[in-house]
Amino acid sequence: MTFTVLPALDVAAGRLATWTRAGARPQAAAGGDPLEAARRAIAAGARWLHLVDLDRAGGGRPSTLALVGETAALGVKVQASGGVVGAAEVDEVLGAGAARAVLASAALGDEAAVASLAAACGERLLVGLEVVGGRIVGRGPKATDLDLDLASTLGWLAAAGAAGFVVTALDRVGALEGPDAGLVRRVARAGRPVIAAGGIRSLDDLRRVREAGAVGAIVGRAWLEGPLDLEAALAWASTA
């Protein structure tokens, strides 16, 4: 199976941003223009982009619905994320032109609703797992009390028919400290496709998560600010 590298575009108030442990900060790459960044990623060979709505993730109004369609119109598939916590948000981003949505960890407190969405959406919906210290937590006001055991949650998600997972080592996001390959390995044992995120900074890191069982990886700050050579990473992924 071909490994997929998904360049990430985190967006706040219509501009590129980077999520850090201290919160979102402006991103200067591509002049802060998410469409220009998308064009650069596509020129490097990207076939998927991971678009994150930081405004909705923070409890505000969605700010990327138009951008989803504009980005998809460039000829790339869009994986939409950020504050997607229920059927309404899933319908919005898919209706806007996303090829796939990522359900936020905040949604995992309602097993029946997640199972219903998984059945309705199939491969167009992946389940986000934001993990710290082996526990699933979340970001944003709707996730303040979320604290779930990873193993048992993976069990019921697999039984519910989840098509796959986006697993984020939350304490490594934006830090360029390397991925948590052990976490990827644990999630991959559930027998569903896994996309890894958090800390990935180099081609060696991409190799590590692939060896741990991931079918893809999200790269954000590493490609926008360096040190990741996105064109080389995408070329490697096409033959991995």
Q: Is the distance from CB of 120 to CB of 101 less than 8 angstroms?
A: no
* Residues 210-221: b if buried by 16+ CB within 10 A, e if exposed: bebbbbbbbbbb
Decide if pLDDT at 53 tops 70.
yes
pLDDT at 142: 57
Q: What pLDDT score was predicted for residue 30?
A: 95
Q: Binning pLDDT at 50, 70 and 90, where does residue 141 land?
A: low
Number of Cβ atoms within 10 Å of the Cβ of 97? 18
CB burial string 118-147: b at 16+ within 10 A, e below: beebeeebbbbbbbbeeebbbbbebbeebe
* Residue 4 pLDDT greater than 80, yes or no: yes
Q: Which pLDDT band, with edges at 50, 70 and 90, does 9 fall under? A: very high
User: What local confidence, expressed as pLDDT, does residue 18 receive?
Assistant: 83
pLDDT per residue as tens digits for the range 171-203 = 888 777 899 999 999 999 999 999 999 999 999
Structure tokens at 208: 């590590």
**Mean pLDDT calculated for residue range 34-59:** 96
Mean pLDDT of 129-143: 82
Give the pair of three-digit tokens for residue 164: 């796959």
Which domains, and CATH codes, for the chain? 4-239 (3.20.20.70)
